Structure 1
């Protein structure tokens, strides 16, 4: 879960970004649509959808369509992680990707405001409740001696079939590390791929998507949570930005050509609009029924702004001159 937005997003300094003039409302969702940091996967064998969430030891929801009805199945890792760190019984930020015949679920073990963090993984051939085996550490971990925080993992493969793990939140923002051929263990030293030098609107929850020669790096920024307790100043709430590169490891730039590592670059992809507030914790995938789908969690002002009321949102992406919009 992206908690660090509480700690340093205290000064109303916005990222330099290209503002979008309008957004489509989220697509329909029926059944159990509560959400935080969703990861959505469409099973290749039968087209069944699975949604994984922060909380409930990585909760699993299942549906016959992206629109639902979504039905809760249970916890992916019901006994907690075998990684012996504070937070092993409260797992965050799932990312599920298919590698070979296995689905790999990456998760975070950490605690509020701590840099003592680790990214673990579990595997399944079906994604069904009760089918997941926890394998523990990927080797991506952090403590106060590091320049990064090892949370919010996302796996990407390049066009040569090499695997990389993107991760990070606050401290040095977004990092990347090369993984082994199975995508289960780090095989190099992490390096920074996105950074906001102002320190007040730090980056987290990255997700990378490949399309037509470009790697699109999306990340959330702003105050993520607690809106019912203290509503942020306008524009300081969670939102999503995007940068791109022809290389999986960068350098990444925004639509205006600004560096996303040295110039606080980032093109705005999603911000609050109408009753849709504080969207983030995003992902993107190619759906055989809908096209490119962008998904996220958000607060609905008509329902309530408490974390427990966050909802699952999704939109079909429009591509213009090589850039996504919703």
Structure 2
């Protein structure tokens, strides 16, 4: 059988590495943008680090890391020497946030933003280089916003993407007025037209002060959909990733339940957007808090979600996570419960699947880490539950696609019992909590709730 290999050891909350950025690897990666170039993968991320009281501030300039396999990451350095002067003068920022990189003709463009936390005094700029590792030359402003102006949007979190016709767009924005998209010039990489562009997503101000940010758009040619990923809620506590899709890059973006991502009137705010993941905890290890602000990599037809997450034991320590994305039968993305470790997709037999599993239901209403619940998949197709319901069961639909019948009461839902039909894929994975190979499940219920599973013990294991 094809199993993932053991990844390099990852030491969590390791004070010995705080002062030496060359040892960080995944540590201190926040809001990562991903780009593949000449056989290497690069992340560009926010100027952020774990800081104890009394320590000097970390210098800015965009953090850069490199990997040959998406697993073992090494520190490259800083793309820029601090905050460029125009952005510094406008915002007073000490560091740069949420960068994104594209290649335009023969040059690379690095989009960055500067702001003061919780304000709209913000600046998106762009730099250029002939080589991805620099040196970078600042080209200054793409768009800026100010406290008290009438633009509504907040000029942070740029993501730059080509549409299927080859036109260039930037989606951006955070909190306040929501997420927008504006067309860019193919020659300059700056705004093609004046104005703020088209609204793609927003939330009511009274809901976490309108917390929607970190937009990222991916076009999938097989499905002919543009997928919009955003992060909801507080980046320190209950951050979570949501998705919607559209036939056109400028929207409207519709979620699994048919809600438009700009709807602040007719639907429960917690139900807008397909929630792909939030904070979670499997047994035998601390959990991960507030995963979010993702980018997406397409690599020879395989897709990966690249995001940060915080250690449960210390929310000020955050790491880079890379997870495989697979697609449901009706063309929705779902992500692996475990981080990528080089595992190839393969057909999984029913005999391999039977065993003890832990399950996580990504409740869209959850404001805290979700704990895994234990349910066993029996060889006869039944599921061992504490309710004794005859409606529970599982079956292999075809190849690695599995269907489950689950009850909401098994996962602590206090509302009237719901019986879910859930379809998803079983994948080989590395169990980062137990440090061994395993199988995982990722899929959606018929009501659009993301379900994760991880096999703890195979039926014939001793």
* Superposition TM-score tier, normalisation by shorter sequence: 0.7 to 0.9
2:227 alignment partner in structure 1? 216
2:253 alignment partner in structure 1? 252
2:112 alignment partner in structure 1? 107
2:45 alignment partner in structure 1? 53
Equivalences, count: 282
SS in 2 for 1:85: helix
Alpha-carbon distance in structure 1 between the residues aligned to 2:103 and 2:36:
10
Q: 1:310 to 1:192 in 2, by over 3 A?
A: same
Structure 1 segments, 4+ long, off by >6 Å, are none
Alpha-carbon distance in structure 1 between the residues aligned to 2:304 and 2:243:
15
Q: Is the 8 A contact 1:99 1:183 kept in 2?
A: no
1:8 alignment partner in structure 2? none
Q: Is the 8 A contact 1:148 1:172 kept in 2?
A: yes
Q: Does 1:134 align with 2:138?
A: yes
Give the gaps of 5 or more residues in structure 1: 1-26, 226-231
1:4 alignment partner in structure 2? none
Q: Is the 8 A contact 2:101 2:108 kept in 1?
A: yes
2:409 alignment partner in structure 1? none
| Correspondence list, 1:153-172, <5 A | 153-172=158-177
Post-superposition shift, 1:79?
A: 4.1
Alpha-carbon distance in structure 1 between the residues aligned to 2:148 and 2:247:
33
Alpha-carbon distance in structure 1 between the residues aligned to 2:7 and 2:174:
30
Q: Is the 8 A contact 2:91 2:123 kept in 1?
A: no
Post-superposition shift, 1:238?
A: 0.3
2:181 alignment partner in structure 1? 176
Alpha-carbon distance in structure 2 between the residues aligned to 1:28 and 1:259:
40
Alpha-carbon distance in structure 1 between the residues aligned to 2:333 and 2:178:
22
2:240 alignment partner in structure 1? 239
2:288 alignment partner in structure 1? 276
Post-superposition shift, 1:150?
A: 0.4
Q: 1:67 to 1:183 in 2, by over 3 A?
A: farther
2:30 to 5, 22, 36: 36
RMSD: 1.9
1:63 to 36, 61, 67: 67
More displaced 10-residue stretch of structure 1: 130-139 or 244-253: 130-139
Q: Does 1:305 align with 2:315?
A: yes
Structure having the higher Rg: 2
Post-superposition shift, 1:192?
A: 1.2
More displaced 10-residue stretch of structure 1: 110-119 or 147-156: 110-119
Give the gaps of 5 or more residues in structure 2: 1-5, 11-22, 48-59, 282-286, 336-462
Q: Is the 8 A contact 2:82 2:95 kept in 1?
A: no
2:83 alignment partner in structure 1? 80
Deviations 1:231-274 (A, max 9, x none): x5xxxx10010011001000111011111112552110111111
Post-superposition shift, 1:144?
A: 2.2
Deviations 1:276-297 (A, max 9, x none): 2100110112123x81011100
Q: 1:91 to 1:71 in 2, by over 3 A?
A: same
Alpha-carbon distance in structure 1 between the residues aligned to 2:277 and 2:44:
21
Alpha-carbon distance in structure 2 between the residues aligned to 1:138 and 1:259:
28
Q: Is the 8 A contact 1:294 1:314 kept in 2?
A: yes
Q: Does 1:261 align with 2:262?
A: yes
SS in 1 for 2:289: strand
SS in 2 for 1:178: strand
1:199 to 174, 191, 206: 206
Q: Is the 8 A contact 1:41 1:96 kept in 2?
A: yes
Relative contact order (C-alpha < 8 Å, sep 6+): which is higher? 1
Deviations 1:198-229 (A, max 9, x none): 5324200110110031111110111102xxxx
Q: 1:175 to 1:183 in 2, by over 3 A?
A: farther
